[in-house]
Amino acid sequence: MKPLRKPIRLDPEAYRIGHCFSVTIRTSFHRRLFISEASVNVAVIALRESARKFRARIYAYCFMPDHAHLLARTPPGVDFLGFVDHFKQLSAFRLRIELADNRLVWQPRFYDHALRSSEGILPTLHYILGNPVRAGLVQNADEYPFSGSLEWPEILTAGLESPGLHTAVVPER
């Protein structure tokens, strides 16, 4: 008898309680789509619009040539999976136009990890922003042009402290 596969998703309610998630989204067939400033700008604008629509906080993003990393959270009651799906759909639509290529942009699934309060946002943020260094693309994280934060634009140089993981997320406007 084959062992049962572990489900790739948490209980749906876990995505609606305001946890912070680290997310990795791979491009379809590992295509190297994020090697130009124009492509990354399209994706960052889509990320900004999706974040606004879902009131998400984007603590870090990093667009590697064939995948993207996000460190983000949505407010309690707002579906984090809906936010990621919206970003993937919006960015794919716009990237297909930018690249004049109708092929799939993203793989259908993505990897997510809910941060526990003991893990903290800051170590995960540094891990995400350090990906280009570990991949040998740059010597220092602040040299990589396709990563940053929508929450803290100066994150690479400011050395900000990790905010609480389970506090109110985005004030109502």
Q: Can you give the residue range of the structural domain that contains 92? A: 16-155
Domain CATH code at residue 36: 3.30.70.1290
* In a domain? residue 99: yes
C-alpha distance from residue 173 to each of 21, 32, 52, 170 (Å):
23, 38, 11, 9
pLDDT over 70 for what percent of the chain? 83
* 161 domain-assigned: no
pTM of the complete model beyond 0.75: yes
Burial of 147: CB neighbours in 10 Å, binned 0-12, 13-18, 19+: buried
With respect to residue 170, please indicate whether it lies within any of the assigned structural domains.
Answer: no
CA distance 90 to 71: 18
Number of domains in the chain: 1
Domain membership of residue 5 (yes or no) is no
Distance CA 158, CA 154 (A): 6
Any domain includes 169: no
Per-residue pLDDT tens digits for 110-161: 999 999 876 778 889 999 999 999 999 999 998 999 999 998 765 545 554 4
